[in-house]
Amino acid sequence: MVMIRVTAIVRQAHCQARRATSAGERTLMASGSTARIDYDHTDCWNNPSGGSRTQFAVMRDWSGEEKGDPEWTQIELQ
């Protein structure tokens, strides 16, 4: 039997607005969320010289309310 210890499971929502003025005034919106799983398999918290640490994250943005705002998804594995 293989047993995996997950150190942390994190879900974080984000929302951000920026004003762009290069081609006329426009407010760009971003709203989405991040889901992350951390696995810490180091030998000791104050001396992490052995073992490994792995992080898997998926970030998704459903764009703002205006037509033409891009949607995006980012996947990270460290």
pLDDT per residue as tens digits for the range 33-52: 899 988 877 766 666 667 77
pTM of the model: 0.61
In a domain, 26, yes or no: yes
- Residues 27-32, mean pLDDT to the nearest whole number: 74
In a domain, 47, yes or no: yes
Select the more confidently predicted residue: 21 or 59: 59
In a domain, 1, yes or no: no
In a domain, 2, yes or no: no
- The total domain count for the chain is 1
In a domain, 3, yes or no: no
Structural domain for 39, as ranges: 8-77
61 CB-contact burial (10 Å; exposed 0-12 / middle 13-18 / buried 19+): buried
